[in-house]
Amino acid sequence: MSRSGPDTARVAATPDADHVLPPAEAMLWAQDLVKTHRGAETATHAVRHVDLRVDRGEFVAIMGPSGAGKSTLLHLLGGLDRPDSGRIWLDGQRVDGLSEARWSLLRRRTVGIVFQFFNLVTNMTAADNVELPALLAGMSPRQARARREELFAELDLEDRARSTPAALSGGEQQRVALARALVNEPGLLLADEPTGNLDSRNTRDVLRLLARYHASGQTILLVTHDARVASGADRVISLFDGEIADDTALHAPADGPTTVADVLRLKG
Amino acid sequence: MRLPLLALLAKEPAHGYELKQALEQTFGAAYPQPNIGQIYVTLGRLEKNGLIKGQDIDQSNRPNKRVYEITDAGREELAAWFAEPTEGPRVRDEFFMKLVLAPGAGGSDRLALINTQRRHYLNVMRGLSRLAAQDRDNRVAQLLIEGAMLHLQADLDWLERCQEELD
Ligand SMILES: Nc1ncnc2c1ncn2[C@@H]1O[C@H](COP(=O)(O)OP(=O)(O)OP(=O)(O)O)[C@@H](O)[C@H]1O
Ligand SMILES: [Mg+2]
């Protein structure tokens, strides 16, 4: 089921891999990514030769145990960390060699990121945390405000607009971070455990929002431990020990169970 | 199904078809619904054991219908059911057997077994999400589905542990 398989073969067979072009449908294309975290005495091979392709409009989930390298991989793809080797294309553009300044620009328009630990600006209100990146990307204050209000309404955050992050619960901060990532309608949404701190109801709200964006064509790559979140994706990748252990397309929803009997064995 | 029927009859007497409807209304589409035949068979057994008592009611131009009510023995049985703790779903021991025994037995390798199983769970989860979206207004059904989802999540977490430990 791995889509990267054939591409890898083609690249390997090409004498000059640097002249390979990404497939037109690929929003994100990564080839042979490697990242080792080096400490004073230890070296952690966090990402080991990962090939990954996410097509435009696709929703892909990454699962895997703690320490598997999921966040490291996402950080490489969002330009927050540099790979030791490998190549990355984003929306057709080769990006692995870009400067920090160019990456900042990309993150303003092309990639929206939700971090595992939110990274909100602590001395700004929730509303400003979301509106500022919109203003930086060139939106008018009125537009930015309208966009932000729309997102807050969808994420049940209307009462929290004037609060600073410290006054918000973990789940609320998480949702503000999601609104911030989506405010500029990025081509690619990268999200690291976007429901990690949410209770069941808030998880459901975030899932609905993601489903709605996905339905309108948003490309999404998200890391999650929550199988309910992953089951909303078109494809699920299992990362294990820095490598892709499985990559599977999920069935059309209509093929699923019609009752809970299979799961709970309620019969009898 | 014996005891759920008994519980419904403890509320008020009813005939077979009413019981079927009550089950459907209470649990929603997610619950594996018994067919009417199973219900009649179960009612027959409950009556034979003295837990319920049936009485035929004449209907002018249709066949008689049999209305059941719970007996004292039935109430005792029901009280005992409510009083005792309930066994959880069984460990998925068949998959575990496969996983442990596959190497050297000509089966697929462990990673392939784990991947197959994980794909299955994820697809079941997807089906449950769809069920939940269909039956949004039935809170009982929603809770039932949520319970099933949490069990699945535990199965997936355990699969991950198997992968870590047996690698
Ligand atoms: N900055 C760093 N310096 C050194 N080691 C790191 C660094 N970041 C991550 N690691 C190590 O790299 C490995 C992968 O970490 P990573 O954060 O990518 O895992 P993860 O899959 O996101 O885990 P979790 O599910 O717990 O978030 C871990 O062993 C981790 O300890
Ligand atoms: Mg992480």
Tens-digit pLDDT profile for residues B10-32: 989 999 999 999 888 887 777 77
pLDDT tens, per residue, chain A with 268 residues: 444 444 444 444 444 556 778 889 999 999 999 999 998 899 999 999 999 999 999 999 999 999 999 999 999 999 999 999 999 999 999 999 999 999 999 998 899 999 877 789 999 999 999 999 999 999 999 999 999 999 999 888 999 999 999 999 888 898 999 999 999 999 999 999 998 878 887 888 888 889 989 999 999 999 999 999 999 999 999 999 999 999 999 987 555 556 666 555 433 3
Please answer yes or no on whether A253 and B147 come within 8 Å at the CB atom.
Answer: no
Identify the bridge partners of residue A112 per DSSP, sorted by sequence position: A189
**Ramachandran region of residue A217, left (φ > 0), alpha (ψ -120 to 50) or beta?**
left
Q: Return the ligand number nearest the Cα of A67.
A: 1
Residues B77 and B123 placed together within one structural domain of the fold: no
Residue type, A170: G
Tokens 């030769």 locate to A49
Our mutation pick for probing the ligand 1 site, out of A42, A72, A243, counting the most ligand atoms within 8 A of Cβ, is A72
Judge if B17 and B67 occupy the same domain: yes
Same domain, B72 and B99: no
Residues B99, B60: one domain?
Answer: no
**Residues B29 and B62 placed together within one structural domain of the fold:** yes
Indicate whether B11 and B49 sit together in one domain.
yes
How many structural domains does chain B have?
Answer: 2
Report pLDDT for B57.
86
Give the closest residue (by CA) to ligand 1 atom 6. A37
Same domain, B76 and B144: no
CB atoms within 10 A of CB A225: 18
pTM across the whole model: 0.81
End position of a domain, from candidates B83, B112, B141: B83
Show residues of chain B in contact with A260, CB under 8 Å: 30-32, 128, 131, 144-145, 147-148
Task: Decide whether any atom of ligand 1 lies within 6 Å of the A36 Cβ.
Answer: no
Range of the domain at B50: 2-83
| Residue B132 placed within a domain | yes
Kindly determine whether residue A246 and residue B164, on different chains, have CB atoms separated by under 8 Å.
no
Tens digits of residue pLDDT in B27-81: 777 777 888 999 999 999 999 999 999 999 888 777 788 999 999 999 999 888 8
Whether A65 and B124 lie within 8 Å, measured CB to CB: no
Q: Give yes or no: residues B45 and B79 share one domain.
A: yes
Residues of B in contact with A248 (CB under 8 A): 115, 118-119, 122
Using a 6 Å cutoff on CB, does residue A216 contact ligand 1? Answer: no
- Predicted pLDDT at A25: 94
Among residues B32, B64, B83, which one ends one of the domains? B83
- B105 with B148, same domain: the answer is yes
Is B88 inside any structural domain? no
Average pLDDT value over all residues in chain A: 87
On whether the CB atoms of residues A29 and A78 are closer than 8 A, the answer is no
Torsion on CA atoms A143, A148, A154, A160, rounded to nearest 10: -150
Domain C-terminal end among B37, B54, B83:
B83
Which residues neighbour A41 within 8 Å (Cβ) at sequence distance 6 or greater? none
Write the pLDDT tens digit of every residue in A136-183.
999 999 999 999 999 999 888 999 999 999 999 888 898 999 999 999
Residue B72: CB atoms within 10 Å = 9
Pairwise CA distance, residues A250 & A85, whole Å: 31
Tell me if B56 is assigned to some domain: yes
Q: Does B148 touch chain A (CB under 8 A)?
A: yes
* Whether residue B106 sits in one domain with residue B71: no
- What CATH number should be reported for the domain holding residue B51? 1.10.10.10
Give alpha helix (H) positions in B70-138. Answer: 72-83, 93-101, 110-134
3-state secondary structure (DSSP) of residue A158 = helix
Beta partners for residue A236, in sequence order: A61, A248
Q: Alpha-carbon torsion B151, B137, A259, A61, what sign?
A: negative
pLDDT single digits (tens) B116-161: 889 999 999 998 888 888 878 888 888 889 888 998 999 999 999 9
B160 plus B133 within the same structural domain: yes
On whether the CB atoms of residues B65 and B57 are closer than 8 A, the answer is: yes
The amino acid that residue A14 corresponds to is: T
Spacing, Cα A101 to ligand 2 middle (Å): 25
All structural domains of chain A, each given as residue ranges with its CATH number in brackets, are: 56-82+100-267 (3.40.50.300)
Residue B111: what residue type? L
ipTM for the whole complex: 0.81
A236 at the B interface (CB within 8 A)?
yes
Query: What integer pLDDT is reported at residue B44 of this predicted model?
Result: 95
The residue of chain A with its CA nearest to that of B1 is A268
B76 and B99, same domain (yes or no): no
